[in-house]
Amino acid sequence: MSFVTGLKCRECGQDYDIGPEHVCEFCFGPLEVGYDYGAIAKAVSRETIESRPRNLWRYQELLPTEGEPAIGLHSGYTPLVRADRLAEALGVEELWVKDDSVNHPTFSYKDRVVSIAISKAIEFGFDTVSCASTGNLANSVSAHAARAGLRCFIFIPDGLETGKVIGSAIYNPTPVAITGNYDDVNRLCTEIADKYRWAFVNINLRPFYTEGAKTYGFEVAEQLGWKLPKHIVVPTAGGTILPKVAKAFEELQTVGLVDESERFSIYTAQAAGCSPVVNTIEGGGDIIEPVKPNTIAKSIAIGNPADGYYVLRAVRESGGWGAAASDPEIVSAIKLLAETEGIFTEPAGGTTLAATKKLIDSGRIPRDESIVISITGNGYKTLEAVTDAVPKPQVIGAQLSEFDALYEDLGADEAKKEVI
């Protein structure tokens, strides 16, 4: 049973029937899915959710699909890791890492939003799915399309990391690389979506696609024992996930799954080479000025974020803030997370950790309250980012004496480090 009431413009409030539409014809504002929260509150309970399979569909009453899901049955419910060694390194008391680097099937949070979008594409009768992507979304759309037996076109900026290009091509979509950055790709895809009757997950299916990001927030609250974190740091690219995490927390309170008295603050993290939202937060303005991306964090290198305004609004309404990290800071953070918690993230995750450190050090996030860091992608897709920052293997012959000599040298090196 679906509890969806229709689509509604986020700006003027105009109502629309459910369909593959994403822009208000009156004010050109974005459309969003509406729900009957009163009915949901009567239909769902913590116990009902906890009894279901551990995937994103356990929150089906708060998702915009009809009937039983056929896609994304293994997506979601990723680990929320108590990160005590990282907490010690950052000098905080309670730190958690929500780890979507192990999300199924393509190791990023995009598997959440694509599960919902492809499900709606099937409901609407589309035979072709597509997307504009910086890499992770293309991977996920390609994999889910293969699973669903749909034709697939993916559009990416030329020059993406090899792992992400191959990570899409292996599923046999039609990949198209566009000269320019993501914003150039997105403009072209908007024109293509107007001409061809395809399901572009982040264009004409965007109202449904973005709802999938709520499951990230639902899981954080459930895994914390149906409580909200005091502080959560989320990366911003196009701006999909952060406002929906905030919406997820608010919906859980609205339907009675989380205490209404709980308060949270949400913070945005961006790379210094592409930080239009953070620039606006720090400048105190309301207009997000587009920038030309220049960062190793290619998955969040979107200079004109579609939902940037809603990121800004969610951050300010919650009492949060934002921080930007340089490329060297991003690489250092990737290594820190790996060395302390055994989690290998891509530059987007490095950005989030580096920004979190800045927010803690500046006093924006207190050291004695609960903090969640959002890790949204996997480092094995972006090896180029850290290739020069990790040690090379020691090469010796296959003789014990050679290892003994190496071990002695390594011991001397460690002793020198201790003296220093």
The ranges of the chain with pLDDT < 50 are: 415-420
Q: b/e string for 360-381 if b means 16 or more Cβ within 10 A?
A: beeebbeeeebbbbbbbbbbeb
Say what the pLDDT of residue 1 is: 76
Model-level pTM? 0.96
Token representation of residue 25: 């014809």
Say what the pLDDT of residue 179 is: 97
pLDDT one-digit tens code per residue, 82-134: 999 999 999 999 999 999 999 999 999 999 999 999 999 999 999 999 999 99
Q: What is the CA radius of gyration of the chain?
A: 22
- CA 69 – CA 19 distance, rounded (Å): 18
From start to end of 100-173, where are the E strands? 128-132, 151-157
Half-sphere exposure (Cβ direction) of 27: Cα atoms closer than 13 Å: 11
Strand order of the β-sheet with 174-178 is 174-178, 151-157, 128-132, 199-200
What residue ranges define each of the domains in the chain, with the CATH number in brackets? 80-106+211-388 (3.40.50.1100), 394-419 (no CATH)
Burial class (CB in 10 A: 0-12, 13-18, 19+), 398: exposed
- CA 391 – CA 375 distance, rounded (Å): 24
Say what the pLDDT of residue 419 is: 41
